[in-house]
């Protein structure tokens, strides 16, 4: 109840009020917090540019605290190897978890996620992440956060069976819609038909908050709806006729489409940004998260005597 009252007070003051972003003291041990501060300082001393994302950026933009046991650091792909080397020299155990987007630095049970893209290969960190970063203190350490626009962009495509980030998108929109760079956001969603994903989230926003639907600029909605009308009025091109973009939204729930129904995987180069090896490794990770349904169907249908 006390924490609920504190949250209400925070929201009355507005998520943009100057504040130090820090978790509730009972959630993280002092040792863990010091470890995260050490990671940030290690990068700064080695002159590896980075931005903090995850729960800390989410709290800054929405006023909603969500306590996790990891710490997300975003950087350019060209700095990825260097970042892991810097952590290793500082005594961290490191691994390249997924070569197309994610590495980790470990100290005991605590770890830092070192991120330069997204699991679907869409939201790659580039110069604009840094140009529009937000200065903030995280755990009392002065640093910078990923921009709200890029947070919306990367989270909008996460629609896994075990994880859907639509509520996060709605909350960031609710808190930040008036200040967003909508031109940049629209541009982020342009490649590979991503504007439809943005339109879906904006439509859901009006459903979730019927009294706040006007927070989304009318021009943005009109632009996307006009595009939807024009595109649906025309027959699909040959290149799109056998393309499945569902794999961008979920690494496991559209395997039937690409493995049995003959659709092309939109993540695959040159349409997407991933190689066959990267897709295979990322698909295998769904098993670890317990999502084996379509993998089992594909395996069963591949056995002799099955159709």
For range 50-68, the mean pLDDT? 93
**pTM metric for this prediction:** 0.87
Of 126, 146, 166, at which residue does a domain stop? 146
Question: What's the domain range around 282?
Answer: 235-307
What is the distance between the alpha carbons of residues 17 and 30, in angstroms, rounded to a whole number? 25
Based on the fold, state whether residues 31 and 124 are members of the same structural domain.
Answer: yes
Residue 297 — pLDDT band, cuts 50, 70, 90?
A: low
For range 180-209, the mean pLDDT? 97
Of 115, 146, 177, at which residue does a domain stop? 146
For range 68-92, the mean pLDDT? 95
Domain count, the chain: 3
Kindly tell me if the per-residue pLDDT of 67 is higher than 70. yes
Beta-carbon contacts of 84 under 8 Å, excluding residues fewer than 6 positions away, are 94, 96, 103, 105, 114
What is the distance between the alpha carbons of residues 149 and 108, in angstroms, rounded to a whole number? 33
Give the pairing type, strands 102-107 and 93-98.
Answer: antiparallel
Based on the fold, state whether residues 241 and 138 are members of the same structural domain.
Answer: no
Based on the fold, state whether residues 130 and 165 are members of the same structural domain.
Answer: no
pLDDT of 306 reads: 45
Based on the fold, state whether residues 135 and 11 are members of the same structural domain.
Answer: yes
What is the distance between the alpha carbons of residues 250 and 253, in angstroms, rounded to a whole number? 6
90-118 tens-digit pLDDT: 999 999 999 999 999 999 889 999 999 99
For range 130-152, the mean pLDDT? 98
Kindly tell me if the per-residue pLDDT of 89 is higher than 90. yes
Based on the fold, state whether residues 12 and 141 are members of the same structural domain.
Answer: yes
Residue 293 — pLDDT band, cuts 50, 70, 90?
A: low
Based on the fold, state whether residues 68 and 166 are members of the same structural domain.
Answer: no
Of 202, 234, 266, at which residue does a domain stop? 234
pLDDT of 213 reads: 98
CB 298 within 8 A of CB 255: yes
CB 143 within 8 A of CB 40: yes
Based on the fold, state whether residues 218 and 163 are members of the same structural domain.
Answer: yes
Based on the fold, state whether residues 104 and 65 are members of the same structural domain.
Answer: yes
15-33 tens-digit pLDDT: 433 344 554 445 788 999 9
Here the CATH number for the domain that contains residue 103 is 3.30.460.40
Based on the fold, state whether residues 137 and 10 are members of the same structural domain.
Answer: yes
Give the pairing type, strands 243-244 and 264-265.
Answer: parallel
Please state which of the ranges 53-67, 101-115, 199-213, 232-246 shows the lowest mean pLDDT.
232-246
For range 128-133, the mean pLDDT? 98
pLDDT of 26 reads: 55
pLDDT of 287 reads: 81
Based on the fold, state whether residues 175 and 291 are members of the same structural domain.
Answer: no
Based on the fold, state whether residues 162 and 53 are members of the same structural domain.
Answer: no
Based on the fold, state whether residues 36 and 168 are members of the same structural domain.
Answer: no
Find, among 205, 160, 157, the residue nearest to 180 by Cα: 205
224-249 tens-digit pLDDT: 999 999 999 988 787 678 999 999 99
Mean pLDDT score of the chain: 89
């Amino acid at each position: 109840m006390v924490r609920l009252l504190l949250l209400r007070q925070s929201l009355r003051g507005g998520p943009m009020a100057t504040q130090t972003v820090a978790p509730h003291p009972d959630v993280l041990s002092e040792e863990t917090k010091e470890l995260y501060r050490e990671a940030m300082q290690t990068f700064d001393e080695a002159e590896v540019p980075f931005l903090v994302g995850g729960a800390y950026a989410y709290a800054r933009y929405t006023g909603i605290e969500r306590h996790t046991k990891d710490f997300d650091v975003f950087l350019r792909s060209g700095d990825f190897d260097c970042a892991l080397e810097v952590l290793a020299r500082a005594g961290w155990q490191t691994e390249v978890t997924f070569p197309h987007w994610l590495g980790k630095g470990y100290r005991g049970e605590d770890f830092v996620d070192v991120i330069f893209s997204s699991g679907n290969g869409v939201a790659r960190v580039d110069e604009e992440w840094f140009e529009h970063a937000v200065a903030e203190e995280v755990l009392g350490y002065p640093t910078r956060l990923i921009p709200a626009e890029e947070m919306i962009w990367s989270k909008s495509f996460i629609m896994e069976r075990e994880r859907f980030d639509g509520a996060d998108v709605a909350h960031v929109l609710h808190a930040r819609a008036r200040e967003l760079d909508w031109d940049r956001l629209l541009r982020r969603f342009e490649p590979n038909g991503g504007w439809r994903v943005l339109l879906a989230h904006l439509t859901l926003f009006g459903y979730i908050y019927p009294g706040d639907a006007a927070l989304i600029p009318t021009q943005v909605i009109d632009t996307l709806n006009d595009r939807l009308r024009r595109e649906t009025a025309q027959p699909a091109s040959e290149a799109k006729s056998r393309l499945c973009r569902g794999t961008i939204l979920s690494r496991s729930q559209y395997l039937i489409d690409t493995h049995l129904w003959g659709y092309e995987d939109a993540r695959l180069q040159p349409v997407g940004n991933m190689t066959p090896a990267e897709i295979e490794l990322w698909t295998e990770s769904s098993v670890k998260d317990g999502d084996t349904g379509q993998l089992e169907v594909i395996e069963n249908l591949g056995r002799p005597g099955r159709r």
